[in-house]
Structure formats: structure tokens, C-alpha cells
């Protein structure tokens, strides 16, 4: 988990105290759980990069080790407090995975946005031939043969070969990419329109 350092010394000390309590088998106080929840919620609601201290990483490791290696006890208060800490840590992991997915999507959109017409044609005409696709794009079949392989290799296009002919289909991944690109284009259009209205005013 890649987490940046922060100057919030209180939160760092809170993570240290919770980690110490868990290492010594003590239940986590309700006040501590509330404060941890409050700080994590504040971090998740921040539109920028998440900033959590190194001490949180240590706490995450403690939580993982507890659920993997330690046997259950009859101390229900302790078990429940640890379960709530685990839920908070899991929430951060879910957020982090979603942010990483957003970065991947942004990279894919930037990399393949120039192929949006090609993707749209194949989506609208599944099974389109290589020749028909090149005619729609107004490019030579040879040029199209240079564009297609990266899309196939990365799982966006499926190629069906019958004899000497090739028929193209979008994969599920390709359909999602097209959706992302079109959503990005629509967003950019709205931004341009809003900026134009502001300039006019």
C-alpha cells in the first residue's frame, strides 16, 4: 500500500496507540475507533491524493497478521473492536483500488482515444471485415493492419478468421474502453461549453 507521509501527528500517534493495544491484546477504545473513522473519512473525501502516515501502514500490517495468525479468544469486546478496525482498513483498500483503476482507465483513454471511430464502427457493425473497415475509415488495408494489432494484443478486439478474410468484434474490454472514451469526450465538450459561456459573460 503506497501511502504518503502527513504532518498530522495526532493521527500518527493514534495509529501507534491502536497498534500497541492490539499487540498487547487489549480491546480498542470506542473513542479511538471513532477518531480513526473520522480521519479516514476525511482523507477519502479529499479529491486529491490520499495522505496517511507511515504509522497507518504498520497498523494495516498488524491487522492483517491478527486475522491471519492469531486464534480467536472469548473476549467479545476485543474481537468486535478489532473487527471494526479491520473494516476501516478494508475501506481504505477499496478506495485505493478504485483510484488505481481510475488511473488505468485514464491511461487507456489517452492511449487509444484516436481509435474511437474504429471502435465505434466495430461496435455498431460487429463482424465487419478488414476491407469494409478500412473503407469506412478511409485508410488503406495496409495502414489498418498497423493499427489493429495493439488493440487485439491488449484484448480490446477479437478477430475471427474465415479463409483469407478477417472479421472484427469488440470484446467486453473493448466495449468498456469505448464507453470510457465517449464519456471523456462528452465531459471535455461540456467543459469547453461551460468555459465559452463564462467567457461570453
Q: Exposed e or buried b for every residue in 28-65, given b needs 16+ CB within 10 A?
A: beeebbebbeebbeebeeeeeebebbebbeebbebbee
- CA dist., res. 186 & res. 174, Å (int): 18
**Closest Cα partner for 10 from 72, 52, 70?**
52
Highest mean pLDDT among 32-36, 39-43, 56-60: 32-36
- CA dist., res. 32 & res. 36, Å (int): 6
Flag whether the pTM goes above 0.85. Answer: no
Summarised one tens digit per residue, pLDDT across range 138-183 is 999 999 999 999 999 999 999 999 998 999 999 998 998 888 888 8
Q: What is residue 152's predicted lDDT score, i.e. its pLDDT?
A: 94
Q: How far is CA 200 from CA 16, 130, 139, 196, in A?
A: 55, 46, 40, 6
Residue 49 has pLDDT above 60, yes or no: no
Q: Does residue 133 sit in helix, strand or coil? A: helix
Can you tell me which residue has the cell 488493440?
151
Summarised one tens digit per residue, pLDDT across range 64-111 is 887 665 656 677 888 888 888 988 888 888 887 777 777 777 888 888
CA 130 from centroid of its chain's CA atoms:
34
Check: CB of residue 36 under 8 Å from CB of residue 56: no
| pLDDT grade for 3, boundaries at 50, 70 and 90 | very low
CA end-to-end span of the chain: 46
What is the greatest pairwise CA distance in the chain?
A: 74
Q: What is residue 69's predicted lDDT score, i.e. its pLDDT?
A: 56
Summarised one tens digit per residue, pLDDT across range 116-133 is 899 999 999 999 999 999
**Mean pLDDT for all residues in the chain:** 82
Q: What is residue 39's predicted lDDT score, i.e. its pLDDT?
A: 84
Q: Exposed e or buried b for every residue in 82-109, given b needs 16+ CB within 10 A?
A: bebbeebbeebeeebeeeeeeeebeebb
Q: What is the mean pLDDT of residues 41-54?
A: 68
| pLDDT grade for 7, boundaries at 50, 70 and 90 | very low
The domains found in the chain, sorted by start residue, are 9-103 (no CATH), 112-200 (1.10.10.10)
Residue 47 has pLDDT above 80, yes or no: no
**138 vs 188, residue with greater confidence:** 138
54-69 and 9-23 helices cross at what angle (nearest 10)?
A: 20
Please name every residue paired with 162 in a beta bridge, in sequence order, or none if there are none.
165
Amino acid at each position: 500500500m503506497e501511502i504518503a507521509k502527513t504532518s498530522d501527528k495526532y493521527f500518527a500517534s493514534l495509529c501507534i496507540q491502536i497498534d500497541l493495544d492490539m499487540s498487547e491484546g487489549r480491546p480498542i477504545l470506542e473513542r479511538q475507533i471513532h477518531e480513526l473513522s473520522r480521519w479516514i473519512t476525511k482523507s477519502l473525501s479529499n479529491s486529491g491524493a490520499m495522505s496517511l502516515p507511515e504509522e497507518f501502514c504498520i497498523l494495516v500490517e498488524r491487522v492483517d497478521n491478527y486475522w491471519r495468525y492469531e486464534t480467536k479468544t472469548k473476549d467479545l469486546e476485543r474481537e468486535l473492536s478489532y473487527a471494526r478496525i479491520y473494516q476501516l482498513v478494508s475501506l481504505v483498500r477499496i478506495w485505493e483500488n478504485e483510484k488505481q483503476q481510475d488511473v488505468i482507465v485514464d491511461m487507456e483513454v489517452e492511449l487509444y482515444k484516436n481509435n474511437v471511430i474504429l471502435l465505434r464502427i466495430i461496435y455498431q457493425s460487429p463482424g465487419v471485415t478488414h476491407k469494409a473497415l478500412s473503407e469506412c475509415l478511409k485508410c488503406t488495408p495496409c495502414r489498418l493492419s498497423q493499427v489493429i494489432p495493439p488493440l487485439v494484443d491488449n484484448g480490446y478486439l477479437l478477430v475471427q478468421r474465415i479463409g483469407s478474410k478477417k472479421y472484427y468484434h469488440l470484446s467486453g474490454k473493448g466495449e468498456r474502453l469505448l464507453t470510457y472514451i465517449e464519456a471523456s469526450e462528452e465531459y471535455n465538450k461540456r467543459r469547453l461549453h461551460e468555459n465559452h459561456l463564462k467567457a461570453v459573460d
